[in-house]
Amino acid sequence: MLKLNSVSVGYTSKMVVKDISFEVEQGQMICLIGPNGSGKTTLLKAIANIKEFEGDIKYNEVHINSMYRKEIGKIMAMITQNSHTYFPFSVFDTVMNGRYVYMDGLFKGPSKQDKVIVEQALERVGMLEFRKRNISTLSGGQLQRVHLAKLLAQEPEIILLDEPTNHLDLKYQIETLEFIKELTIKEHKISIVVLHDLNLVQRYADKVVMLSEGDDFLIGDTKDVLTNEKLNEFYHLDIKDWMVKTLEMWRK
Amino acid sequence: MNKKLIGLSVALLVLTVLIGISVGSTKIPVQDVFSILSHKLLGTALSEGIEGKTVSIVWILRFPRVLLALIVGASLAVSGSSIQSVLKNPLASPYTLGVSAGASLGVVICIIFDLYIPYFGYMTLTTVGFLSGLVTVFLVLRFARKVDHGFTNQTIILSGMVLALFVNAVLTMITALSHQDLQRIVLWQMGTFSLKSWKYVYAILPFFVIGTLGTLRYAKELDALSFGEEQALTLGVDVEKVKKRLIIYSAVLTGSAVATSGTIGFVGLVAPHICRRVFGPKHSLLIPMSVIFGGVFMIVMDLIARTVIPPSELPVGAITALIGAPFFSMIFFSRRKK
């Protein structure tokens, strides 16, 4: 179980998320939502321990910021928003980076087992036939699948995704979230996903953390958070009304 | 396919070394060079008809010179490959962080004041080069952290450039004021392998070995860093520690190379690019290949520098830039068009 206890995170001048506490269990998918600048990504980075925070973040009762980076890497994997490179890595080598924490020993490369795991990961996301391709030649959707394969290769217990549906067409958006959802349930992972599209949140999230532009936040089951009144308050827009009108247009 | 290419590259290096020794004011046939080297290194019998004078030319003059060019070229190329990935910037070079400027200043001060570190003997200059290079990098990083808490690569690169310009200005002033040593300093700064004997090879060798092995040890981390620091962190890389060590190893390589033969540009930029194109960006292969191609490139440049207008010698630093600049634009921009 992942537990946040009165966590605050932000920048030296200003905390963007203040005193937040929640828990996520294995097999649960939690979505972080809120307007731009509300601190979704910042909170996600704090959980990944790549940004400093105040308060406690514990996984199975162990403080994550007391662990070595390699131990954290075995527990959590994250797809960040910008993980592009100028250097022409192949799909296979990119995914092999996910095995970093399991490769011990000086000057030692990947083992046979590492290679098998990478191939399995590529197979699962349907990218095995692209294994030798240069990643700079891939489409946005294909690249996202490569990142997913890398995440699988890392064999994490907690999956952190920062807007994984960005720049993807609707089909890929749904595919990506279906994939994560299935992984979360079948393999008892914890997944924490920053999402903008509230339709996707409605469909896939078990729990929602909604952050406001100020210090306010709301945590609960999806149906309790995504109410008309609360959305209006956090987004300053009658979102539900807008969505329902759109739906009516579709029905015509 | 890769294995074949690696084999060919090693063969190319051996061939370049042999040709580098063979060509010069006295031409020595390659088979004689081969015979002399194997006589000296492996103790085989010398072929008949080789004069003692020829043996001296090969063993005392040409071989150490070629070897030194190889080591300096390799050092700069390895350091370039590493720094480009650490800073995630394909245009970075060993000089980006101000190492060369710092090393130059340290070495010039040593030359002017005739300083020698006791017990270090001929390793004084390489040690001073490495240490003063390291101090400069340290200042660059301190400065970058102070002005930008995010400690982004852009800030690091800009700080490096600013400090390098500043240190170079100090260097120019010191040089201008030291009439006696002016010629020596200018010659050294232009970059040359002329009149370099075995003791220079011994002086740089430990730095080269430590710097290269140290960098190679972090090959996997360099792969991860190529995708950005946040990515590397989430993959489980202790970025701060790894980055610091890689920068130190880069200072070891660059500082000692600059101390040995002055500031020679473009090798650290061009060789890594060629290697990435041919062998891919994976550092477990890229680093050893940078050794080979940095070496080959430098030996060829030195060969051109000393044979183009005989009997005078051109500074090799000028040749690398003269050939390196158009060559680099060619590879860099042809890749962009694709």
For residues A234 and A56, the answer to whether their CB atoms sit within 8 Å is no
pLDDT at B213: 96
Measured distance CA(B162)–CA(B154) in Å, rounded: 12
Nearest CA to B239 out of A179, A69, A115, A30 is that of A69
Strands A158-162 and A190-194: parallel
pLDDT at B312: 80
- Residue identified by tokens 């072929």 is B47
- Residue B283 phi, psi dihedral angles, 5° rounding: -70, -25
pLDDT of residue B114 exceeding 80 = no
For residue A132, give Cα distances in angstroms to A44, A129, B282: 32, 8, 13
Could B281 and A106 be called an inter-chain contact, meaning their C-beta atoms sit closer than 8 Å?
no
Band of pLDDT at residue B263, cut at 50, 70 and 90: confident
Strands A54-59 and A207-211: unpaired
- Average pLDDT (B62-79) is 94
Which amino acid is it at B121? G
What angle is formed at CA B160 by the lines to CA B157 and CA B165, rounded to 5 degrees? 130
For residues B266 and B325, the answer to whether their CB atoms sit within 8 Å is yes
Six token digits for residue B56: 């001296």
In terms of CA atoms, which chain B residue is nearest residue A69?
B236
Cβ atoms within 10 Å of A159's Cβ, excluding its own: 24
Could B233 and A84 be called an inter-chain contact, meaning their C-beta atoms sit closer than 8 Å?
no
pLDDT tens by residue, B292-327: 999 999 999 999 988 888 778 888 888 888 888 888
Six token digits for residue A45: 């980075």
pLDDT at B113: 81
- On whether any CB of chain A is under 8 Å from the CB of B146, the answer is no
For residue A10, give Cα distances in angstroms to A17, A69, B225: 6, 21, 24
pLDDT of residue B338 exceeding 50 = no
Measured distance CA(B146)–CA(B138) in Å, rounded: 12
Note the Cα A125 to chain centre separation in Å: 17
Which amino acid is it at A117? I
More confident residue, A83 or B274: B274
What is the DSSP secondary-structure string of B52-70?
HHHHHIIIIIIHHHHHHHH
Could B236 and A74 be called an inter-chain contact, meaning their C-beta atoms sit closer than 8 Å?
yes
pLDDT tens by residue, B187-232: 777 777 877 788 889 989 999 999 999 999 999 999 999 988 889 9
Mean pLDDT over the full length of chain B: 87
State chain A's maximal CA–CA distance in angstroms. 65
- Residue identified by tokens 């308060």 is A55
**Which of A12, A69, A78 shows the shortest C-beta gap to B237?**
A69
pLDDT at A26: 94
In terms of CA atoms, which chain B residue is nearest residue A89?
B281
pLDDT of residue B249 exceeding 60 = yes
Nearest CA to A151 out of A107, A100, A194, A108 is that of A100
- DSSP letter at B119 equals T
- On whether any CB of chain B is under 8 Å from the CB of A72, the answer is yes
Q: Would you write out chain A's pLDDT as a tens digit for each of its 252 residues? A: 999 999 999 887 788 898 999 999 999 999 999 988 889 999 999 999 998 899 999 999 999 989 999 999 999 999 988 767 778 899 999 999 999 999 887 777 788 999 999 999 999 999 999 999 999 898 888 888 999 999 999 999 999 999 988 878 888 899 899 999 999 999 999 999 999 899 999 999 999 999 988 888 999 999 888 888 888 888 888 888 888 899 999 998
- On whether any CB of chain A is under 8 Å from the CB of B23, the answer is no
pLDDT tens by residue, A35-80: 888 899 999 999 999 988 999 999 999 999 899 999 999 999 999 8
Band of pLDDT at residue B1, cut at 50, 70 and 90: low
Structure ipTM: 0.90
Chain B CB contacts of A192 below 8 Å: none
- DSSP letter at A135 equals G
For residue B149, give Cα distances in angstroms to A13, B146, B153: 12, 6, 11
pLDDT of residue B337 exceeding 60 = no
pLDDT at B313: 82
Structure pTM?
0.90
CA atoms within 13 A on the CB side of B73: 31
pLDDT at B120: 66
What angle is formed at CA B70 by the lines to CA B65 and CA B71, rounded to 5 degrees? 100
CA atoms within 13 A on the CB side of A187: 15
Report the range out of A133-147, B64-78, B164-178 with the highest average pLDDT. Answer: B64-78
CA dihedral B64, B70, B76, B78 (to 10 degrees): -130
Measured distance CA(A30)–CA(A17) in Å, rounded: 17
Nearest CA to B72 out of B180, B204, B270, B187 is that of B204
**Which of A88, A101, A109 shows the shortest C-beta gap to B281?**
A88
